[in-house]
Amino acid sequence: MDTLVQTPRTTLKRRPGRGSFDRALINSILDEALVCHIGFTVDDQPYVVPTTYARVDDRLYIHGSIASRMLRNLAAGVPMCFTVTLLDGLVLARSAFHHSMNYRSVMVFGVAREVADLAERLRAFEAVVNHVMPNRFAATRAPDEQEIKATSVIALDIDEASAKVRNGPVSDAEEDYALPFWAGVVPMKLVPQAPIPDERLLPGVPVPPELTSYRRAR
């Protein structure tokens, strides 16, 4: 089992039993989520910005417009926190106090690096598109020179990271099990709905097989 080194920043202060430094678990959460929340600080003000991303091996890529304030700050080397959260269920206990959520989350700490190398930039573009749907990049028009220039790419190595997971049933106080309240778990799932083909789709263009079978959980 490949396990990351625990650091002061990744040590869970609360409920350490829910924490994990197992790289396979961390990767599975990073690969299932579609949106991350990136934290960075400018003039003492923290910002938390949702965006797309991709994992390639032990590295995360984030891209966006060269005009993006977030990417300019991250490229300049401000410390960042990259968090993804998958909501798996509502935990409805007999007591208000023991209500909870089932979830899987990952936090990655570090300083990003601006990706200048063209080949690595292209790999990042491909990875971000294919993170959304397998094989999608090959089924699109590739970025042209102007689009490549207009896009900033940063990389964050997954060196300092932890996962936190709650799963399983309600955990009520022993005396509360005698109470006549409904209790249980409501699993929650991010479910793709029927695709809406673009109005200007050319006639005869087939639906990609990856779309027909599309689901998020691996």
Between residue 146 and residue 185, which ones bind a second copy under the rule CB under 8 A?
Answer: 147, 151, 169-170, 176-185
Rule CB under 8 A: say whether 205 interacts with a second copy. Answer: yes
Question: Which position among 97, 149, 167, 217 is part of the footprint of a second copy (CB under 8 A)?
Answer: 97
Other CB atoms within a 10 A radius of the CB of residue 70 amount to 21
| Nearest C-alpha neighbor of 218 from the set 57, 28, 52 | 28
CA separation for the pair 94, 91 (Å, rounded): 10
Using CB under 8 A, pick the residue from 2, 3, 77, 99 that binds a second copy.
99
Residue 1 binds to a second copy (criterion: CB under 8 A) = no
User: What element of type H or E holds 101?
Assistant: strand 100-111
Q: How far is the CB of 62 from a second copy (least distance, A)?
A: 14
Tell which one of 30, 60, 62, 93 touches a second copy (CB under 8 A). Answer: 93
Per CB under 8 A, 190 contacts a second copy: yes
Strands 151-157 and 113-114: antiparallel
DSSP secondary structure code for residue 5 in this structure: P
- Max distance between CA atoms of the chain, in angstroms, equals 67
Residues 39 to 58: which contact a second copy by CB under 8 A? 39-41, 44-50, 52
Q: How far apart are CA 136 and CA 132, in angstroms?
A: 8
- 162 in Cβ contact with 106 (< 8 Å): yes
Report, in Å, the least distance between residue 54 CB and a second copy. 12
Residue 126 interacts with a second copy (CB under 8 A): yes or no: yes
28 or 130: CB nearest a second copy: 130
CB of 106 closer than 8 Å to CB of 74: no
Binding mask 70-89 for a second copy (x = CB under 8 A): ---------xxxxx-x-x--
Q: Is 4 in the site for a second copy (CB under 8 A)?
A: no
